[in-house]
Structure 1
Amino acid sequence: MKRILLVDGDPAALRLLQQELAVLREACDLSFVAGAAEALALLEQSTYDVVLTDIHLGGMGGLELLAEVKRRYPQVVRLAYSGCAHQDLVVRGLAVAHQVLPKPLSAELVWGTVSRACALRDQLGSAALLTLVSGLHRLPSLPSVYEELVTVARDDSSTIDQAARIIVKDAGLAAHLLHIVNSVFFNLRRTVVSPAHAVALLGLETVSALVLSASVHQTLQTAESDRATVASLQRHGLAVAQSARQFVSMEEVGRLALDQAFTAGLLHDLGRLVLETQMPAECRAVRQLMEGERLTDVEAERVVLHATHAQVGGYVLALWGLGAAVVEAVVFHHEPRSAHRREFSVLTAVHVADGCAQAERSGMESGKVDHEYLAEIGFADRFAQWKAAV
């Protein structure tokens, strides 16, 4: 049974919340408190799976509370909610919360979100995955250039020139960025001649994601690695990123999801890159098993590695602090039904985009798209339109 701690500084709102969520008491253990101090005191005394707080608390605010929970109890799922969840507030919230929910909260929304978040946590905390990760030579660290760009992106007063100055600190990275932006994938009508030009045309979030991808590929491309494989993964990631963002745009689910879909698509095979460059012998064994036993890559990875490249990639992104929507899409992009999410999301877009990209390479009709999953979420009839847009 999941244990959930709910925090709201408005007594009337807290009472309404207790009434609305009463139906969940058979499925989970609910505790309600009116402030951050009470919440932290309970967390010291007992173990909780989830903390769900209103952003606008008196005294220590909800985001400050979640930052403290993140520091003291990193295994706890952190959720926030607000009645005025503008994009800038959501972006700030996602720095410390796994997800920001809109008011009013319903039992269905809370339970669905908690189920998905705990499923993601359980995947990333599995013994098999942790054993595999501990055997890697090293995990890539979050590139400092990307960290600086994220800081600039969160500052409303920042300028394009500020972002460009950060990128050009690394001449090789800047050149790699311009090469990617001017590739056929973006199909721009003009040549992009500078990082500032790239930011102006594509937006800081997209450029930041490209910088992150380019930095990781440069870091992991060692002398021992198969450079052709690394280059192929990079091209595939860019194709999936473009398609995933296009699918989100077609469903009109918001600007934030557009950026998340692009980032998740770009990095969905990060785990494969990590494994190919650090465990080449094991990856060869995976490919041999796929060919000899006609297994999927995920099935063969579970036999050889006892975990999957999707889990490894999600683990790295979670360590880097990327948002839950991006991490979820990476972890479950081969097995979307395992995420317990039953609506169109960034995960849906990345899953379908990856399947379409695989289909194009193999000549299959729809690659590895899970059509039963699309039917379950009510989007089976959209697949043909998405595929036609690629």
Structure 2
Amino acid sequence: MHILFVGDSAILPPDVIELVAAMDDTWRIDTVPDGGSATALVAETDIDAVVVASVLPDMSPATLLEQLRTLRSGCSRIALVAGGQLPSLRITGLAHRLLPLPLSAEILLEATGSLEDLCELLDNPELRSRIGRVEQLPSPPHLYLRLMHALEDDDISAQDVAQLIAGDPGIAAKVLHLCNSAFFSNGRTITDLRGAVARLGMATLRDVVLASEVFSLPAGSDIDHAQLQQRSLLASRLARRMLPESSAELGAIAALLADVGLLLPGVRNEHEPARPHDDRPGHTEAGAYLLGLWGLPMPIIEAVAFHRDPSRSSVRSFWVTGAVHVAMALASDGKIDEAYLARTNMADRLEGWRAQARVAAEAVGVAAA
């Protein structure tokens, strides 16, 4: 993997870059001080990832990111953002991933390592190039990621969580709307965020915030946001029940995001019959690649990529990919790979899962397989 760092040593400490270089002796690391030097290097050299400082001496970081997209659309673009500051809309649309300053070695190592894992999982240069050319990529779910970080504090209260969500009025309104929907309502209307936290619990609240952010993203005119969200929430609920507690959250998030690729332009909807000579990337791998750029955990990315064909998973036992495969099929009247379930010794669970799906679907007024 070839990584380029752009910026001066005040923002990109040499010792941190040296740690990245030492992570894998097959990696090539280059550093340049400004955007012009970066543009010249990228124009003549294959670069896999570029890390751009928050301030450059000759151009804005957004201008450089835009040039990088034009020159090497398959290159992963990482932007550094001053801690506590909100990045511009232009930056969030051009960067695949945002990392906070001051730059921590651990965060940078995780970000670069996960990019290599992603390229190995989805060895598809054409897919990377197509996604890289998208003019306005969906932004990562910033509120969800901040919430996940906050919940690592054992002392956080329901009021603290409510205040965090209230910081984004649009998402707060969607959270309240979902909280009072048939999926989560017990008949009593909830009008405040603290009440929503109490009703849902922290685990479900995370899913609702994620759904609220992701399914408010723009999509093609042929995508029914409400139907997509409803199907994803049902699949998320089912996948959570299929897995042990230690991996239930991974399954719930992966099922919730299984169709996120449908929000990207220029992808093929794999729920529809394939057309002859249609060379567009399928929405499952495209969605998985987007989640990888967002920095989500690899089990979620793999489950999203392979849930329609779970035999492609590197995990041979029934785990997150298997649960998402079954949950999405039950939520969308899709085909279940019963041979796969037999190989993973889970075939005898299928009828019970079907029954759970019917009960859950009837409770919210949707159809299930």
- 1:123, 1:311 within 8 Å by CA — same for their partners in 2? no
Q: Tell me the SS of whatever aligns to 1:268.
A: coil
Counterpart in 1 of 2:218?
220
Q: Using the alignment, how far apart are the partners of 1:168 and 1:40 within structure 2?
A: 37
Match of 2:262 in 1: 272
**Structure 2 Cα separation of the partners of residues 273 and 151 of structure 1:** 26
For structure 2, list consecutive stretches of 5 or more residues without a partner in the other structure. Answer: 1-17, 29-103, 358-369
Identify the residue that residue 241 of structure 1 maps to in structure 2.
236
Correspondence list, 1:279-290, <5 A? 279=266
Match of 1:357 in 2: 331
For 1:102-141, list aligned pairs within 5 A: 121-141=119-139
Contact 1:233 1:273 in 2 (8 A): no
- The answer as to whether partners of 2:111 and 2:295 remain within 8 angstroms in 1 is no
- Equivalent in 350, 355, 363 of residue 388 of structure 1: 355
After superposition, the CA RMSD in angstroms is: 3.1
Q: In structure 2, what is the equivalent of residue 203 of structure 1?
A: 201
* Residue 213 (structure 1) shift: 2.0
Asked whether the 8 Å contact 1:271–1:314 carries over to 2, the reply is yes
Change in 2 beyond 3 A, CA 1:46/1:175: closer
CA-to-partner distance for each residue in 1:151-210, whole Å, 9 max, x for gaps?
211112211111111111222321211221222223535433322222223222321222
Native 8 Å contact 1:206 1:259 kept in 2: no
Which of 299, 305, 322 lines up with 1:325 in the alignment? 299
* 1:375 and 2:342 are equivalent in the alignment: yes
Structure 1 residues 66 and 376, CA, compared in 2 at 3 Å: closer, same or farther?
farther
- TM-score, normalisation: structure 2: 0.64
Report the Cα distance in structure 2 between the residues aligned to 1:41 and 1:319, rounded to whole angstroms: 21
Unaligned runs of 5+ in 1: 1-37, 49-63, 78-119, 287-295, 360-366
Deviation at 1:235, TM superposition (A): 1.2
With over 3 angstroms needed to count, the CA separation of the structure-2 counterparts of 1:164 and 1:39, relative to structure 1, is closer
What's the secondary structure of 1:357's corresponding residue?
helix
Q: Which amino acid aligns with 1:336?
A: P
1:72 deviation in Å?
Answer: 5.4
- Scaled by the length of structure 1, the TM-score of the pair is 0.61
Q: Give the equivalent residue in structure 1 for 2:149.
A: 151
**Cα distance change of structure 1 residues 318 and 206 upon mapping to structure 2, 3 Å threshold:** farther
Structure 1 pair 374–165 and aligned structure 2 pair: CA distance change class (3 A): same
- Alignment-derived partner of residue 18 in structure 1: none
Relative to 1, partners in 2 of residues 1:331 and 1:301: Cα closer, same or farther, differing over 3 Å?
A: farther
User: Can you list the C-alpha shifts for 1:280-331, whole angstroms capped at 9, x where unaligned?
Assistant: xx65xx6xxxxxxxxx648738952442111111112112222122212111
Tell me how far 1:342 sits from its aligned partner: 1.7
* Secondary structure of residue in 1 paired with 2:135: coil
Structure 1 residue corresponding to 2:320, chosen from 311, 329, 346 = 346
Judged with a 3 Å threshold, the aligned counterparts in structure 2 of structure 1 residues 42 and 308 are, in CA distance, closer, same or farther, namely same
Secondary structure, in 3 states, of the residue corresponding to 1:137? coil
8 Å Cα contact 2:114/2:292 also seen in 1: no
Aligned in 2, Cα 1:226/1:297: closer, same or farther, shift over 3 Å?
closer
* Match for residue 249 of structure 2 among 241, 255, 259: 259
Distance 1:74 1:374, change over 3 A: closer
Work out the number of aligned pairs and report it.
Answer: 267
**Higher helix fraction: Structure 1 or Structure 2?**
1
Corresponding letter in the other structure for 1:70: E
Aligned positions of 1:49-60 closer than 5 A: none
Please tell me the residue identity of whatever aligns with 2:341: L
Distance 1:42 1:214, change over 3 A: closer
SS at match of 1:131: helix
Distance 1:71 1:378 in 2: 35
CA distance in 2, matches of 1:257, 1:74: 20
Deviates more, 1:128-137 or 1:159-168: 128-137
Question: What residue is the counterpart of 2:285 in the other structure?
Answer: 311
SS in structure 2 of the partner of residue 218 of structure 1: coil
Counterpart of 1:219 in 2: which secondary structure?
coil
Distance 1:182 1:71 in 2: 37
Q: Secondary structure at the match of 2:140?
A: coil
**1:67 positional shift:** 4.4
Moved more, 140-149 or 189-198: 189-198
Is the counterpart of residue 174 in structure 1 residue 172 in structure 2? yes
Deviations 1:259-283 (A, max 9, x none): 2222111111000122xxx34xx65
| 2:115–2:293 contact (8 Å) kept in structure 1 | no
Alpha carbons 2:306, 2:321 under 8 Å: kept: yes
User: 1:125 offset after TM fit, Å?
Assistant: 4.1
Q: Secondary structure at the match of 1:209?
A: helix
SS in 1 for 2:126: helix
Q: In percent, how many aligned pairs have the same letter?
A: 32
Specify the code of the residue in structure 2 equivalent to 1:211.
Answer: V
Q: Output the amino acid matched with 1:272.
A: L
C-alpha contact 1:132 1:306 (8 A) present in aligned 2: no
